[in-house]
Amino acid sequence: MTREDFSAPTKRAIAMRSGYRCAHPECEGRTTIGPAVDADKSENTGKASHIFSASDRGPRGQGNLSPEDLRSVANGLWLCAKHADQVDLNDGKDYPPPVLLGWKAVHEFKIAREHGAMLNPFGWIESLKIVDAPIFKPAQQISFANANVLVGGNGVGKTTLCEWLSCLAGSAALSRWGAYSEDNARHSDIEVEFEIRAPTRQRAVLKVISGKPSITLDGKAFPFSPIGYEVVTLLSAREVQASWEEGDHIYIAKRLNIDAIEAQALTDFIASDQGVFLKGAAWEDVQDEDAEKPVRQLRCNLMKNFTQLFRTLSGGETGAVLLDLAVARATILSTYRPTLLIVETSAISMDPVFLSQFLEALSSPLVPFQSIFVTTELDEEAAWGGWQIIRLDRQNSEGTEIALG
């Protein structure tokens, strides 16, 4: 049986990225390095634990990872000796890969912030527990990483989960659940629990009972969320009736649900902080023979030094540019408030190759916000790369089941 063990440099990198502190949430960052008995020596009690197993029969299995991936820093979690043993008990079933990936992301974010690389106020949704709600089987829980993918067919509850998460920013999505509706037939009672760090750990309970919504935060009830979350979304062209005739700045503003001035300012931000696909951009006022006045168009500098007008890009390329702008907006907002990016891949014709590239970028612990991508299927190449995969499936009338990884 071949083992894909970490090399000494890889172990050291895992430990250093963790600040030599245990990443288990209950350890609260306890240090694993300190002075030994001898005055000129130190002692290290931490372990570099595999998230996906070093051997094919080890706890949590190996997923679809290559030997190189299994030996990489991305597959390592720094834990104290106690918790390193604990996570591997029962073949690791109590601590699946998505849970450990979430710990790693949260802990490395905290270390980066302490170290000075991040000055953003910390906002993190650790988990969502469905106590009782239509569509889903009750008593199910989701652990979130920094980048997450919701995968499932139509009608299994992907949009529902996103609506509940959006309620941390505002209550508009609750109208679908009959909030304050005079039609009793529309009332659907729900109860959902969130574990959040914003910046301290808090427990929020979202309820809609007989049409009356509430959010309870650490035992105190509010009529809406007081946390101050910001949710960034992308809308489909059909939803907003976006047209190129109005100009690219209006088109982009409608798709990002922002104003036209902010849409143009975002392209300036991209010029100083390049995106995954969009590396720079410039605005041009073009006079069309059939138009009464010039039309504002965006010329995009794309990866591989390729330049093209935004309106002439393919559907997938257009989606990638819009997503880069949405990521830029989320980055700016997260400077001052907790932020969540929610992307329906169908709304932006997201190509699987682009999806993997964005997920890889957004999985970095230095990204100051969480993201959720919603899709009906996931390409094999995007099956794992440090992000959380949340699969939804409904086989019978008992409700949708949730599986992680």
- Mean per-residue pLDDT for 317-345? 93
User: What tens digit of pLDDT does each residue of 299-310 get?
Assistant: 999 988 899 999
User: What tens digit of pLDDT does each residue of 109-162 get?
Assistant: 778 777 765 545 567 888 899 999 888 998 998 888 788 899 999 989 999 999
* Whether pLDDT at 83 is above 80: yes
Q: Write down the mean pLDDT value for the chain.
A: 86
**Per-residue confidence (pLDDT) for residue 293, from 0 to 100:** 84
**Per-residue confidence (pLDDT) for residue 176, from 0 to 100:** 78
**Per-residue confidence (pLDDT) for residue 296, from 0 to 100:** 93
Query: Domain boundaries in the chain?
Result: 8-95, 238-313
User: 315 versus 184: which is more confidently predicted?
Assistant: 315
The answer to whether 99 touches 76, Cβ cutoff 8 Å, is: no
**Per-residue confidence (pLDDT) for residue 351, from 0 to 100:** 80
User: What tens digit of pLDDT does each residue of 340-379 get?
Assistant: 999 999 888 888 888 888 988 888 767 889 999 999 887 7
Distance CA 355, CA 347 (A): 13
- Mean per-residue pLDDT for 323-330? 95
- What is the reported pTM? 0.79
Band of residue 96 on the pLDDT scale cut at 50, 70, 90: confident
Distance CA 130, CA 390 (A): 14
**Per-residue confidence (pLDDT) for residue 324, from 0 to 100:** 95
User: What tens digit of pLDDT does each residue of 31-79 get?
Assistant: 999 998 998 889 999 999 999 898 888 888 887 788 998 999 989 999 9
User: What tens digit of pLDDT does each residue of 215-264 get?
Assistant: 999 889 998 888 888 999 998 888 888 778 889 999 999 999 999 999 99
User: 402 versus 28: which is more confidently predicted?
Assistant: 402
Band of residue 90 on the pLDDT scale cut at 50, 70, 90: confident
Band of residue 274 on the pLDDT scale cut at 50, 70, 90: confident
- Mean per-residue pLDDT for 366-393? 79
**Per-residue confidence (pLDDT) for residue 336, from 0 to 100:** 84
